[in-house]
Structure 1
Amino acid sequence: MLILNSENWIKKRNKFIDKCRICHNELLKTCSEPDAVSAQILSDCVSRNRETDFGRRHNFGQIKTLTDYRRAVPIHQYADLEPWIQQILEGKERVLTVDAPYTMLKTSGTTGSSKAIPHTAHWRYRYRGPIIYALWGAYGKYFPQLWDHPYATLDFLWERELPKDFIGKIPHQGITNREISLGKTDFTPPWYNAPWVDFTDDSSGFMERIYLRIRHFIGQNLRMLAVIQPNRLLLMVQILSDMAERLIEDVHNGELCGKPLFEPKPELSARLEKLVQKDGILLPKSVWPNLDLIACWKSKQLGLYLEQIPALFPDTKILPLLTGSTEAMVTCPVDDHPEAGILTLTQGIYEFIPHDDENPDFSEENPETLSYDQLTVGKIYNVITTQANGLYRYDIGDLYQVVGYHGRVPRLAFVRRQGVYSSFNGEKLTETQVMDAFQAALGQLGLPSVLYSCFPVWSNPPRYVLIVEAGSGWPVSSMAGLPKEFDLALGYLNSEYEARIRTGRLARSVVKQVAPGTFQDNWNAKVAQGACAPQLKHHFCQKETSLLEEIESAGLVIETFF
């Protein structure tokens, strides 16, 4: 356990605060001097790596300006860079960067199988570490009480964990999992060695780790919660409710998992018991009455979760996190703006392609791109980035909307993944994944192909509902098995979906049987009402539930299978 206000912790805290302020000020400086920063990063990415295989292939030695760079290097998808990455995995050196990656970052598999993104010490030391310090610098500027004592901030954003997966000899793990700090500018907060962050010797499950953190912070003067997905906050509420009896007993006995790790606190235990008697459950605001700030993702797709937070955490400010992906950070908060941060020009080179709903997957081989100072407020853009990890002019597949400017730098809000049809809390389902999973489920059950559609349905927890045009020839036993087989197949294709089903963040899918011709009848009705027939396309994965509601309200559902 940490010793409250110990001299050692105070030294770590003060050093941490200084780093946060410096990095925050450096990010703010880009708002008035962005051009110089971009030139430095271009030089670092190109000049530093001109003697790599990729650098020689694309004449890095001849590149002097961003215009030169755009001419020499085409826009890449992951599939374009995958052969180069495969060479790295086979042990070849100086392929994309002069320094070899010490780990491969695992993506969620949004547009297919999980990717392997090179993670070099240079990238983490010069870029990723400082931007996270800058993030905390923004929070600390407006909420300095976050540093009052060792238990003022509960950080859910990452965990210290030994890598479990390897590609050859190279670790392959998620970006939120870290084994060690690289020191100096690598993000190393004063709670780095805290038992609620360090799980290198622990195999606890997802829910148990949340309980562990609650146990450490119960009775403490918590001022800030930092989580990635806002549904984590709802899980905390659920655990406070479901495990209240266990928590009260552990506090009374000074235990965690049967081990005497804390000082027994019968008075606190009795106070918690009174709160349960009063409210029926343990409420976060009753347990932590001085909670001032919550930091989490605030995209529109998470709207239902975000709408629930004020009632559960009243009088608590909610600010956005960094946005981006495993491949690249895109925005970082620099102030107390409630929705969006600024473009992280200190992280890489960023180019933009206007998004067109009529032609969402830009078909030109190497389309013209815009710079950060050519963007229009209100417009949505595809983001192309160059990073020091060897991703050159890489299409990250994310769409961002310009909501304003901070100085000369745009303020961007994440809209959605390119090609992603649904994502309640990070599972990021694509229509292709849904289609492949449904066909696999039919094959497993020996059923013929039929017309269907998948709908995201908000509930607590949310779930996906399949409307299936199944005829009378389908046996009930097979229909009853379809939800399970669909979930298994979709979990295999999308590891994030499987994880969220397993941890209860998503409920299992539901199948609603309708008669053959239901979708066609609906299409006919819309055309009769004046809709343009060519624009009425059947989607196997829907973005919203209006069609589902129409089918249900018309009484067209024959039977429902869970």
Structure 2
Amino acid sequence: MSSAEPSTAPGPAGPDWTDPHRLRRYRDRVLTERRRLRAAFADPEAGQRRVLADLLEFNSRTEYGVRHGFDRIRTLDDYRRAVPLQTYDDLAPYIERAAAGEPEVLTADRPAVFFTSSGSTGAHKKIPVTPRFMRTTFFPFYYAAWAPLIEHFPDVLAHPGAVLNLKHDPVSAPPTTASGRPHVGASQVDFGQVFGEPLSAEPGTGAPWATLPVPVAAGDHAEKMYLRLRLAVENDVRCVIGINPAMVAALPYQLRLWWPRIVKEIRDGTLGGVPHGSPDPDRAAELERLAARHGTVRPAHVWPRMRALFCWTTAAASLYLPRLREEYGAHVTALPAPVAASEGPVGVALDRHPTAGSLVVNASVYEFADADEDLAPDTATLRPHELEPGRDYHVVFSHVGGLYRYAVGDVVRVVDHLDGVPRLEYAGRATRSDHAGERLRDAQVIRSLDTALRATGLELRGATCRVNTSAQQTAAYEFAVAPLTPWSQEEAGRFTGLLDTALGRESAGYRTARTRALLDAPSLHLLDEDAFQRDWQARVDSGIRPTQVKDRIFRQDPQQWSALTGRTPA
């Protein structure tokens, strides 16, 4: 940056990341859990049998266990026959009773917390989180997930303000279920206090902005993000943790959006208009010169020692992440966040593979089904060793926390098998767009977009689509994209034609619908480069938690489409 070094003072609350003893114990725990997971790869099928036996024995006396004969089940085949594939809606009656305080419904131990779903549509789920689940399923996977970051970028723990953890959002008065249990996101739970795991605090939770030092309304998520960014600008940030890549993509936009306010507050010694620290006109002037020299302001300018990003690197993010990473610095590494959901873990990267994580064989019992199939209670499933590289699969898991043969709604793609287990990358949600039998999934549209981009040399910062069902014409897909640099009319036309062809290769249903004239050729709307980030910010401004505002390939809702494109759908 310049001669004025950012502050490295510890934050006002949270774990003491300046304590060498704590840092040593934290590193040891992270690397130990990775070693244990790798050791389980020596006999993954035995590991799966142990997980199944444990969940059956532990929960055999629950209402669900008795109803499904857990005490009589000995093998996975027995389990498959006794328990149908199911979704959240199937388990919701049991979960609601547990949330009301009824004991031994799904699990032998009572849920201590209910995680909210991270989805942005519909009512938030209540995911039961029990002490046994955290101890045997969650924590081993959770610690191991940080191993590549801690091993290869140890300087991210150099001081408490070295990590900007965008998802960390503690709440002092969380919403609760009918029984008084917190109903919050995983990033809002103090695992040390609730589950006796003080080492579980993530990097960045001891930063000066981890607990905001000025009053702010709990639901004012945009202001909270501003306040954290305002404080982070004065620190030597070396890593950004976002998990949800849309949050990481929004930060450069926010930096430009709020830059005048940030500089003024540094000059005045205020935070959110409240006196905080000492006025620093020299630092403010330095920041103004920085922006003037570059003509804009990017994270790489503000934090020249940035080393790593930690977020999902696949699905829609794969289309924009390479260029986004450059905004943070030419040599910044993007490490993939785990393949996981609020309901449980699936895969975790144990090395610096850019997209894929190894199946967490000691966490849950895993089954899979071809992603092109519609899941039903009796759908035949595959075991992990039966998965084929280059194929997409539905994920079904069972764990001691009370989710049995649970179809989580995510699709994964098998990259390869390593050390005896499949390595998986998140491919998108399992939901389909199906107007004329095309049955398009997120992953198919993303791969088609990528094919068209590679063939034309074009780049973009975001993409989405909808089906135009205007009565005046044959239905057709409309795509809205935000090019990184302007596209000519000829380039846009060629891209759209290649996209149409790629969709036909990805989906036999789409190809048939086009051949039979049930779908017309797709159309393309070119948006400005900040359109998706502006739309993301508007949703956060409306009161949605940032972790819940995710990239969406399909936007059939007319209001959402209009908000992004400025066009009223026909």
TM range (shorter): 0.7 to 0.9
Three-state SS of the structure 1 residue aligned to 2:161 is coil
Three-state SS of the structure 2 residue aligned to 1:549 is strand
Q: Work out whether residues 293 and 319 of structure 1, in 8 Å CA contact, stay in contact via their aligned partners in 2.
A: yes
Q: Work out whether residues 137 and 399 of structure 2, in 8 Å CA contact, stay in contact via their aligned partners in 1.
A: no
Match of 2:211 among 198, 202, 211: 198
Q: Work out whether residues 124 and 186 of structure 1, in 8 Å CA contact, stay in contact via their aligned partners in 2.
A: no
Three-state SS of the structure 2 residue aligned to 1:197 is coil
Match of 2:185 among 152, 163, 174: 174
Match of 1:548 among 503, 523, 544: 523
Spell out, residue by residue over 1:15-36, the C-alpha distance to the aligned partner (whole angstroms, 9 max, x if none): 2222111112222222223234
Q: Distance in 2 between matches of 1:403 and 1:461?
A: 24
Output aligned runs, 1:286-325, within 5 Å: 286-313=301-328, 314-325=330-341
CA RMSD of aligned residues (A): 3.5
Q: Which moved more, 1:9-18 or 1:367-376?
A: 9-18
Q: Distance in 2 between matches of 1:280 and 1:88?
A: 56
Q: Work out whether residues 231 and 305 of structure 1, in 8 Å CA contact, stay in contact via their aligned partners in 2.
A: no
Distance 1:163 1:390, change over 3 A: farther
Three-state SS of the structure 2 residue aligned to 1:248 is helix
Three-state SS of the structure 1 residue aligned to 2:316 is helix
Q: Does 1:49 align with 2:55?
A: no
Q: Work out whether residues 283 and 312 of structure 1, in 8 Å CA contact, stay in contact via their aligned partners in 2.
A: yes
Match of 2:117 among 102, 107, 123: 107
Q: Which amino acid aligns with 1:187?
A: S
Q: Does 1:245 align with 2:227?
A: no
Residue 380 (structure 1) aligns with = 392
Q: Work out whether residues 163 and 203 of structure 2, in 8 Å CA contact, stay in contact via their aligned partners in 1.
A: no
Distance 1:79 1:310, change over 3 A: closer
Q: Does 1:184 align with 2:197?
A: yes
Q: Distance in 1 between matches of 2:347 and 2:226?
A: 31
Residue 282 (structure 1) aligns with = 297
Q: Does 1:399 align with 2:411?
A: yes
Q: Distance in 2 between matches of 1:190 and 1:285?
A: 20
Q: Distance in 2 between matches of 1:140 and 1:389?
A: 29
Distance 1:416 1:191, change over 3 A: closer
Output aligned runs, 1:122-521, within 5 Å: 122-162=132-172, 164-169=174-179, 170-179=181-190, 181=192, 182-184=195-197, 187-189=200-202, 191-198=204-211, 202-203=216-217, 205-313=220-328, 314-356=330-372, 360-363=373-376, 365-421=377-433, 467=468, 469=470
Q: Distance in 1 between matches of 2:301 and 2:322?
A: 20
Spell out, residue by residue over 1:36-64, the C-alpha distance to the aligned partner (whole angstroms, 9 max, x if none): 42233112211011111111111111223
Q: Which amino acid aligns with 1:196?
A: W
Q: Work out whether residues 414 and 424 of structure 2, in 8 Å CA contact, stay in contact via their aligned partners in 1.
A: yes
Q: Distance in 2 between matches of 1:531 and 1:11?
A: 61
Q: Work out whether residues 160 and 180 of structure 1, in 8 Å CA contact, stay in contact via their aligned partners in 2.
A: no
Rg bigger for which structure? 1
Q: Distance in 1 between matches of 2:423 and 2:216?
A: 40
Q: Distance in 1 between matches of 2:58 and 2:469?
A: 55
Three-state SS of the structure 1 residue aligned to 2:522 is helix
Q: Which moved more, 1:458-467 or 1:259-268?
A: 458-467
Q: Distance in 1 between matches of 2:20 and 2:274?
A: 28
Comparing both chains, which one has the higher relative contact order based on Cα–Cα distances under 8 Å and sequence gaps of 6 or more?
2
Instruction: Give the Å deviation of 1:217.
Output: 2.1
TM-score of the aligned structures, taking structure 2 as reference length: 0.72
Instruction: Give the Å deviation of 1:147.
Output: 1.5
Structure 1 gaps of 5+ residues are 423-427, 431-457, 472-521, 540-544, 552-558
Q: How many aligned positions are there?
A: 459
